Every structure is written in C-alpha cells, then in structure tokens.
Amino acid sequence: MTVDLHGGRLGILAGSGNLPHRIIQQCQQSDQDCFAVYFKGQSEADATETISHKVVRLGQTQKTIDILKKENCTHVVFAGGIKRPSLLDMRPDIRTTRIFARLGLGAVGDDKLLRGIREELESEGFIVLGAHDLVPDLLTPHGVLTKTAPDDRDWADIRSGWQVVETIGGLDIGQACVMQQGITLGVEAVEGTDSLIQRAGVYLRRGGGGVLVKRSKPQQDDKLDIPTIGLQTVDAIKEAGLQGIAVEAGGSQILHQTETIAAANAAKIFIVGVTQADIKNE
C-alpha cells in the first residue's frame, strides 16, 4: 500500500466483483485497519465474512455516513461494480433525495450521482481514495501485455472504437464498445461489459477479428469508477469468439493481472494497454 493513512481507518464501500476483497487483502498484508460497508443486493455475499462490516441498502447515504463515522473511518474508497438501480429499488433517504434534487433525476446510477456522493462524503471530512491508490499494480501498463498482439486490422478497430467510446462516454452511456472489421457490433450501456461482449458475439462476422475497447469517460472521476477487466472478461471474449481487448493504459485496471494475462495467452487473445498517443499515431 503506497498511501499513508497516518493512523486513520479505511472505509471500503464495497460493490460486486473481486476488487473489495483485493483491497481487504492489501490492508491485511499492510496491517492497515479497515471496515466495509456492503450494499444489499450489490455486494458479494462471501466477502462479508472477512472483516468488520455493516450492510445497508443502496440510497441510504446518511446511514452510510453515520456508520463510517461511528467506526472511526477517516478515508473512504469506492470498490467494485454497482448495478444501476431504479428509484423504486433504491428507496433513497432524505439526504440522497437532496442529492437528486441538486443534480437532477437523470443522475440516478451515473457518474454525476457518484460525484454527488463523493461531495457529500468530503463535506463530512472523509478523504476519498481511488482503488489504485491502495493497490497500484491494478493499473493497466502501456503496450501489448500478451504473446498475441493486435494486427493492423485490429489497430484500425481499436482507433475507431476509441472514438466511439469517447462519444458514448461523453453522454455518460458506457465505457466500452466492440468493433470488428470497422463495424460497431455493440456499445456498453446499463447491461455492463460482459453482457455487451455476449451480445456482440451474436453479430460476429466471418473473417476474424473483433476487439473490446474500454476506456474512461471524458468526465470520469478516477477516484470513483475506472474501467476494469479481469479473468471474467477474458472468459467472455473467448466464449464470444473475439480476438482481443484494448484498455486505457494508466486509466483502467486489470484484476488478478498476472492470472488474467496468462488466461489470455492460453486462449490466444491479446490484451493491449492503449494511450491517446497510440490513437493519434496512425
């Protein structure tokens, strides 16, 4: 762990996936005191057994803040995915309703809402950290990470997909798309990356190729939610018959990086960390 909490306690706002557990492991290895808040219907059930924790309903902002204060948390990290809820599912408390009033109902489940919650936490004195501040080896390195590399056709799809994701990201729709032979097979929306890959596989064309392109939205707050891939992503790519994955170098994270790259090598799938300079270098 590279961040010094100066004796403070870390509060982990835990969503789905392996990332909350990865951060907990890092804290335990570093003897860093931590506490988790899990969200009902969102967090992995088995993760709740590892450290002290409470379970709250999504939308209970005030209760979450009260718990973090009671547990003497000084720093907070958002970790893991959150499925976009409807207002009915969320049942927001008064404090969350005030956030909606300030940001507009269109903020439900998107980056604007996350930023609003971050502002509420910071107004209460919490220091908000990014997952990569705590586990720096999560960040995607630059360059080809696998034995298989993208060819010229793949690079053309990566460059096209980069622009597609910049457009949909600017509209706060999603972080990813799937490109093949210059055709956009699908863009990510509320369904998430794995479902996007599965859906795109249905429309795969003859002749090979097919790349998942994933990058940060232009307005993305890297303390809250950055693009993530892992073993599950590689499995989905393999199942769909796609050729590879292009993710933003330094602006995305790879869970279980060594194992994920090994799985991609075994499946002859490429993973490449891409920067804006790569896109411009046509």
Q: What is the DSSP letter of 142?
A: S
Buried b (16+ CB within 10 A) or exposed e, 2-16: ebebeeebbbbbbbb
The predicted-structure confidence for 137-163, as pLDDT tens digits, reads as follows 889 999 999 999 999 999 999 999 999
Kindly report the CA angle at 171 between 223 and 212, in degrees rounded to 5? 75
Work out whether strand 183-187 and strand 176-180 pair parallel, antiparallel, or are unpaired.
antiparallel
Supply the DSSP string of 231-264, one letter for each residue: HHHHHHHHHHT--EEEEETTTSEETTHHHHHHHH
pLDDT band, very low/low/confident/very high, at 93 (cuts 50, 70, 90): confident
160/140 Cα distance (integer angstroms): 20
| Structure token pair of residue 24 | 């907990």
- For 99, residues 6+ apart whose C-beta sits below 8 A from its C-beta are 61, 92, 107, 113, 116, 117, 120
Please state, rounded to an integer, the average pLDDT across all residues of the chain. Answer: 87
Question: Helix, strand or coil for residue 219?
Answer: coil
Enumerate the domain spans of the chain: 9-135, 139-280
Residue 48 pLDDT exceeds 80: no
CATH architecture entry for 9-135: 3-Layer(aba) Sandwich (3.40)
CATH architecture entry for 139-280: 3-Layer(aba) Sandwich (3.40)
The predicted-structure confidence for 199-258, as pLDDT tens digits, reads as follows 999 999 998 999 999 998 877 777 777 889 999 999 999 999 999 999 999 999 998 899
The fraction of the chain above a pLDDT of 70, given in percent, is 89
Work out whether strand 211-214 and strand 183-187 pair parallel, antiparallel, or are unpaired.
unpaired
Question: Which residue's structure tokens are 């450290």?
Answer: 51
The predicted-structure confidence for 168-214, as pLDDT tens digits, reads as follows 988 888 899 999 999 999 999 888 899 999 999 999 999 899 999 99
Q: What is the pTM of this model?
A: 0.82
How many angstroms separate the Cα of 159 from the Cα of each of 140, 193, 247, 281? 18, 19, 12, 10
